[in-house]
Structure 1
Amino acid sequence: MITSSLLNLKTTSLYSLHKELGAKIVPFAGYQMPVSYPEGIIKEHIHTRNEVSLFDISHMGLIQLEGLPVVKYIETLAPANLIGLERNRQCYSFFLNEKGGIIDDFVAMNTGKDYRLVVNAGNTDLVVSLLNSSEKFRNNITLLEKYSMIALQGPKSGQIMKSLKGNCEDMSFMDVRFMNLVGIECLVTRSGYTGEDGFEIVASSNEIETLARNILEFPSVAPAGLGARDTLRLEAGLCLHGNDIGPAISPIEAKIAWAIPPVRRKGGTRSGGFSGSKRIFELLEFGASKYRVGLLTNQRIPVRSGTQLWNESKEEIGTVTSGAFAPSLGKPIGMGYVLNQEAFNGNHIHATIRGKRIDLHVTSLPFMKTNYYRA
């Protein structure tokens, strides 16, 4: 039975498989997506950390860019070095507004044949509209709607790819390669959003279910949903657009300024020239008034998004943006923004939930070591 909240939502090409596997379906970014399977979020999370899990990420937007002129145009909207991006590599970046806020964060790849962007599902239409604001390049920008994406994540993902005859043993984190998997032409990147080694795989929507079923035949592979993907990315200290980053938050405040390469900074050979560059350069030079931090507690109640944060002088100092129970750590964790002077490791702060004080302390991110593969 489809509830009213799921009516008029899109489905991915794996929807029937999700139902067959007993997935709990929820609305997410305009799609009916699996939040969990019968094993539950915690077991899916732990399985990903120890073995390997398969995620449906077909709701993400995949955009093709053709020609160097349109790549240069993208660099006016984002502080990325796409022109200097090597063949068969990808990079992380973000589209900025004039105040330096993050319209959307994305991954850009140079496939050797073209350039492609992977953008957040909830922002796909917004990004396409932004890119098409220049009539000059509209014919060079295509939303690839006949392709789907899956993510194979976990320490044994490389073994699975090898068993699928994937030519990926020498691929490092953020490498990109076309390859044939079980007779299906795929675009594969060694990346993901869990903090583990893994691969994101693009294939024709007509063939993605065949590929997914082949992968799920391996005993070490289990399906995992959005719930586990969220707790995994939170443990890895990764931002979720709409929670931890957004149009009112700059990359400097979010502590992801590492993604702004030297060539686009002051003194670089292609310094500035992107939306919000004046504000970004000011923040890089003088610092921000608030920063994203990790939050830890020894109590059992997670602090959720929107919860206010207070210092020991009972002054409001910030807000939680993400919070959940961390299965790998066995306790609640969170991320949020606090005033600059409060953003130091070990700082004791607190929140109040349903009248109960929750003691927290500020910590660096990520919460646990990431395991990205370097060949």
Structure 2
Amino acid sequence: MTDTETTKDVETLSLDALHRELGAKMVAFAGYSMPIQYGDGIMAEHLWTREKAGLFDVSHMGQLEIRGKNVAAELEAHMPGDFIGLKEGRLRYSMLLDDNGGIIDDLMVTRRADHFYLVVNGAVKNSDIAHLNRHLPAHIEVRERADLALLALQGPRAADVLERLGAEVGLITFMRGSEIRLRGVEMWISRSGYTGEDGFEISIPAKKVAGLARLLLKDKDVRPVGLGARDSLRMEAGMPLYGHDLSRMSTPIEAGLAFAVSKRRKMEGGFAGFDRIDRQIKDGTKVRRVGLKLEGKRPAREGAPVYAGERKTGVLTSGGFAPSVDAPIAMAYVANEDAADGTELDVEVRGKRLPATVVAMPFVPHKYVR
């Protein structure tokens, strides 16, 4: 989140009036006025999502449709995922890469009947679209669906909530999606999210989103959740945030995201930055993204230096207090020799060294329905 955006710089979401009606504290984020928390506060919203179902407005994200002849192969030239082999209705996490293997954005890619549907980060959606238009052939259409809103319903009760409304989501398993008609409205529902919990993302016409949000919020198991808890939830789930844990300075291998480079693509290559990424797969990297658990209760924030003894080994890219862990946690890029689980390091906060230990991520187990 940034303090540099002012009200004249930001746009409003379709649910702006509802957020304010619900008592949200609004902040500027990714070019939009968005709720950071509601009346109960960040910790309560976080724990509610872990126990029941939290409703997030993520309509700032970019929703793109990419279509044209050989579109799967054309996308593969710029991302390391296997899209040619992706079946209809399946999702795949991937990254848009530059020629040096740096991460331009991380995103979700879904194959639909006659096109690919991409959900990209809101802060960089315009630059993503410009990059795709520059590098894809002229016959490939890149269309932003600004007429759509995006909700995320996350938590162990999410499926029950949707079933009670009449949405048959039981057969949709993790990283799959389907068109569903609910209360007369066509929408796309995928079993995916950014919290580590079971949950769904719902793409719906912006003109209809307020009706759906109010309907969901009538359920006793649903509460609205803002950006603050979304951040603490994704950190506990070990999920990186673009612009913080991911950037053009990091490759998928350095970021611990080698799983997103599919087996066929590792063998065949043919995507932006392959030579560097191939070397890193074979020879290792100089730095790696790791999870850190700090002693005590004092959190450390992005930018804090990390030390191995008196040697600076890296820097924090995310950090905060984790309600489900009941301890401060962080992510950092550190030298490869200091990246093994169990390594004891120090994080400097306001001139004081805080002991920290490298731990495996996620910090809390994922609860996906596969």
CA separation in 1, counterparts of 2:346 and 2:121? 32
Give 1:73-152 correspondences, 5 Å limit: 73-134=74-135, 136-137=137-138, 140-152=141-153
- Asked if the contact 1:132/1:138 (under 8 Å) is kept, the reply is no
Q: What secondary structure sits across from 2:134 in the alignment?
A: coil
* Contact kept? 1:70, 1:140, Cα under 8 Å: no
Structure 1, unmatched stretches of 5+, are none
Match of 1:319 among 315, 319, 326: 315
Aligned to 1:282: 279
Is the contact between residue 192 and residue 199 of structure 1 (CA under 8 Å) also seen in structure 2?
A: yes
Listed one character per residue, the Cα deviations across residues 172-217 of structure 1 (whole Å, up to 9, x for unaligned) are 1001100012221100000000000000000100001111110001
- After TM superposition, the structure 1 = structure 2 runs for residues 1-375 of structure 1, keeping only pairs within 5 Å, are 5-134=6-135, 136-137=137-138, 140-266=141-267, 271-312=268-309, 314-374=310-370
The 8 Å contact of residues 69 and 139 in structure 2, kept in 1 or not, is answered as: no
| Conservation of the 8 A alpha-carbon contact between 1:65 and 1:115 | yes
Structure 2: 5+ residue runs without aligned partners? none
Letter in 1 for 2:43: I
Structure 1 position 274, deviation (Å): 1.0
Alpha-carbon distance, 1:73 to partner: 1.3
Residue 83 of structure 1 deviates from its aligned partner by 1.3
- 1-side partners of 2:355 and 2:266: how far apart? 39
CA contact (8 A) 1:350 1:360 kept: yes
CA pair 36-341 structure 1, distance change in 2 beyond 3 A: same
Equivalent AA in structure 2 for residue 357 of structure 1: R
Secondary structure of the 2:137 match is helix
Deviation of residue 65 (structure 1)?
1.2
Q: Is the 8 A contact 2:305 2:348 kept in 1?
A: yes
Deviations 1:114-134 (A, max 9, x none): 210000001101110011114
- Where 1:80 maps in the other structure, the secondary structure is coil
Given that residues 181 and 211 in structure 1 are in contact (C-alpha distance below 8 angstroms), is that contact kept between their aligned partners in structure 2? no
Task: Output the CA distance in 1 between the equivalents of 2:21 and 2:139.
Answer: 40
Q: 1:277 is matched by which residue type in structure 2?
A: F
Separation of aligned partners in 2, 1:4 and 1:78? 31
Could you tell me how far 1:370 is from its partner in structure 2?
0.6
RMSD over aligned CA atoms reads: 1.3
Q: SS where residue 7 of structure 1 aligns?
A: helix
For residues 235-272 of structure 1, the C-alpha deviation after alignment (integer angstroms, 9 at most, x for no partner) is: 00000001101000000001101011111112xxxx11
> What amino acid sits opposite 2:355 in the alignment?
D
Change in CA separation of 1:13 and 1:357 when aligned onto 2, cut-off 3 Å: same
Aligned counterparts of 2:41 and 2:60: Cα–Cα separation in 1:
21
Q: Which 10-residue stretch deviates more, 200-209 or 66-75?
A: 66-75
What TM-score do you get using the length of structure 2 for normalisation? 0.97
Give the Cα–Cα distance (whole angstroms) in 2 for the partners of residues 137 and 232 of structure 1: 40
Q: Give 1:5 deviation, angstroms.
A: 1.9
Letter in 2 for 1:254: A
User: How big is each residue's C-alpha offset from its partner over 1:321-361, in whole Å with a ceiling of 9 and x where there is no partner?
Assistant: 10010010111000101111111111111022122220111
CA distance in 2, matches of 1:182, 1:373: 25
SS of equivalent residue, structure 2 residue 70: helix
Identity, % of aligned pairs? 39
- Kindly provide the CA deviation profile for residues 19-62 of structure 1, in whole angstroms up to 9, marking residues without a partner as x: 00000000000000000001100000000000001000000000
SS of the residue 2:80 aligns to = coil
Q: Cα offset for 1:161?
A: 1.1
CA distance in structure 2 between the aligned counterparts of 1:40 and 1:316, rounded to whole angstroms? 36
Q: How many residues align?
A: 367
SS of corresponding position for 2:188: strand
Counterpart of 2:12 in structure 1: which amino acid? T
